[in-house]
Amino acid sequence: MSTATLAPLHATFKRLHHFSHLASIAGWDQAAMMPAKGNESRAAAMAELQVLMHQTLTDPALPAQFEAAAKANLSDTDQASLAEMRRDWAMANRLPQDLVEAQSLAAARCEHAWRTQRKANDWVGFARNLSEVVKLARQEAHMLADATGVTPYEALMDKFEPGMRESTITALFGEVKTWLPGLITQVMERQQHETVVAAIGPFPVERQRALGVDVMGLLGFDFEGGRLDISTHPFCGGVPQDVRITTRYSEATFAPSLSGIIHETGHARYEQRLPRDTLHLPVGRARSMGVHESQSLSFEMQLARSPAFLQLIAPLVKRHLGDQPAFDADNLARLFTRVHRGFIRVDADELTYPAHVILRFEIERALIDSEIEVDDIPALWTEKMREYLGVDAAGNYENGCMQDIHWPSGMFGYFPSYTLGAMYAAQYFATIRKLHPDLDARIAAGDLSPVMNWLDANIWSQASRWSTDALITRATGEPLNALYFRQHLVGRYLNA
């Protein structure tokens, strides 16, 4: 009975899945391969596709289909699936078609111009485009908030973190701010007394890429179902059957590109291991962006910055980049755990990274709530960078408030996902270590199965079957507990 009752809804969401597939690949091409003069026509095509998807989700026939399904004798799994479909349907019906189209066009134009404006440190030009993106984001936020009874910023955050409350994030980040600055200072003072051999470049791009591909293989990336390319800002896109990841290279240093590849491979493994029988349904998608970031940060921070993993890949680094003292395992471990106060979020170490996220959260929340305007961002950015990281970012827009793709793309409410992801990842690994006390020895020997099998069973295969709280509780025995994150940082950087 349930199969027949859900069949019309499944047909609709399968169609949406196919549209989303095309949008994802077109978006990857736009960022990685498309020539500059193709942007206007691509933006128009992408906006048209977004309108088509919106029309599909606002089809007048859907309410009756949802009502019929709600009356059916559904299994627990089908009820969870129905709830996820209803969520997508409800969100689409809260927004008018003309706003959806306008947002798509404004974001495409702003993001495309940002690629050159950032390099030119052109805040004035960027601000003009960003102002339109912000105006439309505020409209969306207020429409969603009015319909759901939450704050405007929370309404946008809910797109990425279903069920997460702004008050929860504020409390979590407020608590982190009480101990993080002191810990950063303490660790940096300790590291001043350590001897670290710097890696001597240059490091040709083709050799860095070959190293990255080998590490991707070690981490289980399926190259028959994905690929590695270059873009202005590293990302993971595409679809589970065809995952596209990107990085960026500098011949002066190898660590940022390798870390970026490992980070995006974490995203990719999640996508590649989602259950195939429900890929066309919302319940078959990744649970949230916080959970998604927990996969990338499980790979990049928890696993890849551990001495055991760096011992494992040291021979690969030497094979591709040359045999030099900097690439001895012990020195690699020191290189990849250097703590420094820098400008760039994606290049930050895991200790200073949360400060980068918190300041973005505070700025974008104030922006969506109309407490500040776009022109206020640089001064506020400079103030918070100085306060949280002791870095003077005044006038450095390229490596300051223009560095991320999120705001030009209209992704307000996403940034909290990164630190939530780091917290989830720390909790995962605390659980894995309880199950496998010999974890580090196994990793150093090349056996990554304790990590990969646990993630596969508890996170990847579960998709959106459970709420985020339920997913984390089922996996680790308790809901999110930020204490594990602090314990991890203290253990790695002070007690090791």
Share the mean pLDDT of the chain: 96
Give residue-wise pLDDT tens across range 177-221: 999 999 999 999 999 999 999 999 999 999 999 999 999 999 999
**pLDDT at residue 1, as a whole number:** 40
Element (H, E) at 246: strand 242-247
- Tell me the average pLDDT across 219-242: 94
**pLDDT at residue 276, as a whole number:** 95
Residue 287 burial (CB count, 10 A): 23
Residue 123: pLDDT above 90? Answer: yes
**Domain layout of the chain by residue ranges:** 2-151, 152-496
Q: How far apart are CA 15 and CA 43, in angstroms?
A: 21
Q: What's phi and psi for 236, nearest 5 deg?
A: -120, 125
The dihedral through the CA atoms of 216, 217, 222, 227 has a sign that is positive
Q: How far apart are CA 306 and CA 287, in angstroms?
A: 27
Q: Which residues contact 213 (CB under 8 A, 6 or more apart)?
A: 223, 228
Residue ranges in 149-230 assigned as alpha helix (H): 152-160, 166-191, 205-218
Structure tokens at 281: 């349904």
**pLDDT at residue 138, as a whole number:** 98
**CB-count burial class (<10 Å; 0-12, 13-18, 19+) for 490:** middle
Q: How far apart are CA 237 and CA 56, in angstroms?
A: 23
Nearest to 264 by CA among 299, 291, 312: 299
Structure tokens at 181: 């600055």
Q: How far apart are CA 299 and CA 489, in angstroms?
A: 16
Among this protein's residues, is 264 annotated catalytic?
A: yes
Residue 119: pLDDT above 70? Answer: yes
- Tell me the average pLDDT across 25-46: 92
**pLDDT at residue 4, as a whole number:** 82
Give residue-wise pLDDT tens across range 81-111: 999 999 999 999 999 999 999 999 999 999 9
Residue tagged 């190898």 (tokens) = 254
The rounded percent of the chain whose pLDDT value lies above 70 is 99
Residue 248 near residue 257, CB atoms below 8 Å = yes
Give residue-wise pLDDT tens across range 343-357: 999 889 999 999 999
**CB-count burial class (<10 Å; 0-12, 13-18, 19+) for 434:** exposed
Nearest to 353 by CA among 110, 183, 136: 183
For the chain, give me the number of helices (H) and strands (E)? 20, 3
For residue 220, give Cα distances in angstroms to 265, 267, 286.
Answer: 9, 12, 18
- Tell me the average pLDDT across 49-76: 96
Element (H, E) at 90: helix 76-93
Nearest to 217 by CA among 328, 209, 305: 209
The CA angle 6-8-10, to the nearest 5 degrees, is 65
Give residue-wise pLDDT tens across range 266-319: 999 999 999 999 999 999 999 999 999 999 999 999 999 999 999 999 999 999
Q: Which residues contact 402 (CB under 8 A, 6 or more apart)?
A: 114, 117, 118, 121, 123, 126
Element (H, E) at 238: strand 236-239
Res. 232 pLDDT band, cuts 50 70 90: confident
Q: What is the DSSP string of 422-452?
A: HHHHHHHHHHHHHH-TTHHHHHHTT--HHHH
The rounded percent of the chain whose pLDDT value lies above 90 is 96
Give residue-wise pLDDT tens across range 318-330: 999 999 999 999 9
Residue 20: pLDDT above 90? Answer: yes
Give residue-wise pLDDT tens across range 425-471: 999 999 999 999 999 999 999 999 999 999 999 999 999 999 999 99
Element (H, E) at 333: helix 329-335
Residue 160 near residue 415, CB atoms below 8 Å = no
Structure tokens at 350: 């895991």
Give residue-wise pLDDT tens across range 385-437: 999 999 999 999 999 999 999 999 999 999 999 999 999 999 999 999 999 99
Q: What's phi and psi for 227, nearest 5 deg?
A: -155, 165
**pLDDT at residue 2, as a whole number:** 59
**pLDDT at residue 456, as a whole number:** 98
**pLDDT at residue 233, as a whole number:** 81
- Tell me the average pLDDT across 358-364: 98
Q: Which residues pair with 253 in a beta bridge?
A: 250
End-to-end CA distance of the chain: 58
Residue 222 near residue 272, CB atoms below 8 Å = yes
Nearest to 429 by CA among 469, 487, 496: 487
Class of CATH domain 152-496:
mainly alpha
Element (H, E) at 366: helix 353-368
Q: Catalytic residue, from 264, 271, 350, 364: name it.
A: 264
| Residue 35 preceded by cis peptide, ω within 30 | no
